[in-house]
Amino acid sequence: MAPHHVLKCCQRSLAWIPVIFINLVVGWSYYAYVVELCIFTIPNNAEKISYLVVFHLFFIMFIWSYWKTICSRPASPSKEFCLAKVEKEQYEKEQPDAQQDILKKAAVGLPVYTRTGTGAVRYCDHCQVIKPDRCHHCSTCDMCVLKMDHHCPWVNNCVGFSNYKFFVLFLAYSMLYCVFIAATVLQYFIKFWTNQLPDTHAKFHVLFLFFVAAMFFISILSLFSYHLWLVGKNRTTIEAFRAPVFRNGPDKNGFSLGFSRNVVEVFGDQKKYWMFPIYTSRPNEMEQSSQKSKR
């Protein structure tokens, strides 16, 4: 048992490497932009101040949404989806066909409408729960996650019901952060590249800052666009690749409530909070989605 725990501990420690890498890059970009560009390179004070104000606005929103995505614990199924002690003991003794009969009886009073590919009740043997609609087991987090989208190594967390809004905002603000840096650095990048500015220690930081910002912007843009499409369709990444199966068969649009309501499902009813990484999703989102699917 000891080696297993040591291995688990090592895996959990190594999982933070991508997060540390992102934070180191962001920390360096902050230094390069604020100190090397704004303080040492830009001569005009008005331009310098305006750049710093907008930069810090994007920086704060980016860091806020990023760490909210990291720190939000994935939502797991409630106790009502667990089998009763007697049912669990009986389930463990029976053969697969008899086990399904037990699960079907237990799921009668639950808002569960999706099935496995073979039409069976979705059950997690590891967590020992009947899976709610859109719930999947994450082997990395070692738990069942409600409305699981994917496990993201860059935030070392599962992206799902509890933090999907934060993840989308993280992509949006990181993209804005990168494009703002690239756009404002460009003229000084050209001046350094063409030797219009003296060859100082800021040259390396400014040149490299432009390349890094442009590279990250291009890579994040495609991912952000894809997740905006998912929000509009009310799908997860898992459902985009494998349509959920209902009692009457697979239906890739089974959870769609219409574009505007799909957006509200993620960002909440109050538009004034959409741009902030605070929890605004409706608590009965899962139930409403399931009821729509049943209809």
What is the distance between the alpha carbons of residues 36 and 11, in angstroms, rounded to a whole number?
Answer: 37
152 belongs to the catalytic site: yes
Report the SS3 class of residue 288.
helix
CA dihedral 246→252→257→261, nearest 10 degrees, is: 130
Contact assessment for residue 113 and residue 133, using Cβ atoms and an 8 Å cutoff: yes
> CB-based contacts of 186: which residues, under 8 Å, 6+ apart?
210
Contact assessment for residue 111 and residue 132, using Cβ atoms and an 8 Å cutoff: yes
Q: What are the angstrom distances between the C-alpha of 82 and each of 108, 125, 164, 242?
A: 13, 11, 25, 25
Closest CA to 63 of 165, 174, 155: 174
Contact assessment for residue 244 and residue 134, using Cβ atoms and an 8 Å cutoff: yes
What is the distance between the alpha carbons of residues 178 and 209, in angstroms, rounded to a whole number?
Answer: 10
What is the distance between the alpha carbons of residues 173 and 214, in angstroms, rounded to a whole number?
Answer: 14
Do the strands 150-152 and 157-159 form a parallel or antiparallel pair, or are they unpaired?
A: antiparallel
Which residue in the list 135, 152, 158, 178 is annotated as catalytic? 152
Q: Say which residue the tokens 């806020």 belong to.
A: 64
> CB-based contacts of 275: which residues, under 8 Å, 6+ apart?
61, 169
Which residues are annotated as catalytic? 152
